[in-house]
Every structure is written in C-alpha cells, then in structure tokens.
Amino acid sequence: MSSVSVRKFSFALMMLLVFVSQFYVSVTSAQVSQNEASSALTSAEESVVSAYQAVSKAEESGANVSSLLVRLNEAGWFLALAHMAYKSGDFDSALKFARQSQEELNGFVDDADALRKTASQEYYWGFMVNVVGPIIGAIGIICCSFIVWFLLKRKYEKAGSMV
C-alpha cells in the first residue's frame, strides 16, 4: 500500500469514527437526559405531594393557607408542563419545568408548618380567653359575692347585738 492510500484510509476511518462518535454521544446524552428528566419528575411529584399534605394539615388547624395554595398551584402547573414535555419527548424542557416546580416549593413545608403552629397557638389562646376566662371570671364573682355577703352579715349581726 502506498502512503497516499494509507492516508486516505486513515482519513476515511477517522471521519467514520467522528461521525459514529457524534451519533453515540447524542444517543447517550439523550438517554441520560431522559433518565434525568424522569428522576426530576419523580422528585417534583414527591415535593408536590408532601407540600399538599403540609397544606392539608395547616388548613385542618385553622390556618389561612391561601398564599400557600397559590404557590402549590404554580408548582402543579410547572409539573403538568413537565409531564407534557416528557410525553412529547422534549426531555430538556421536562427537566427544566420539573426543576421550576421544585424551586417553587423550596421552603414550602416549613412555611406550612409555621402557619399550622401559629394557628394552633391562636386557637389555644382563643379558647383560653373565650371559654376558660369567663368561667374563671364567673367563679371569681361568685366567690367575691359570698365573701362580701359573709362580711356584711357579720357586720349587721354585730350592729344588731350592740343596740
């Protein structure tokens, strides 16, 4: 073989390897992207479920959860977009929307727990002021009335025995 034919063969082989490697890399990166998108979707779904449970607990305790519901709705919207993108094969967009959904829920459970605790404390103090307070007040008035009655009775008995 001549050096020219070796160069042509080497050039052709290198071009073939470059072409095949680009195809292999794009298929591999697409597969990684699909796996990454699937993992992000699963993680985003778990975040939405835990956020929903936190809102439910906060609402049961009487907290005003309207601001949390707005954030949860936005996260759900991003999650729905991520699912649509994933089903259409647009894994990059699916990954992006799943991450946006999770970003929307950063600190969400802590905020819901704080609202739940605040609502529980307000309920406790509301109960103390509206139920226990009047009962203690009524008992105090009754006790004071008996003490005043007893003292006045003694005073009149002493005054009646002096005359």
Domain range list for the chain: 3-136
The pLDDT tens digits along the chain (163 residues) read 555 565 665 555 555 555 555 554 444 445 547 889 889 999 999 999 999 999 988 888 888 888 888 999 999 999 999 999 999 999 999 999 999 999 999 998 898 888 888 877 877 667 677 777 788 888 989 999 999 998 888 888 888 776 5
Nearest-10 crossing angle of helices 3-60, 91-104: 30
pTM of this prediction exceeds 0.85: no
The three-point CA angle 45-50-54 to 5° equals 145
State the amino acid at position 3 in one-letter form: S
Quote the pLDDT of residue 87: 93
- Report the CATH fold assignment for 3-136: Butyryl-CoA Dehydrogenase, subunit A; domain 3 (1.20.140)
State the amino acid at position 112 in one-letter form: A
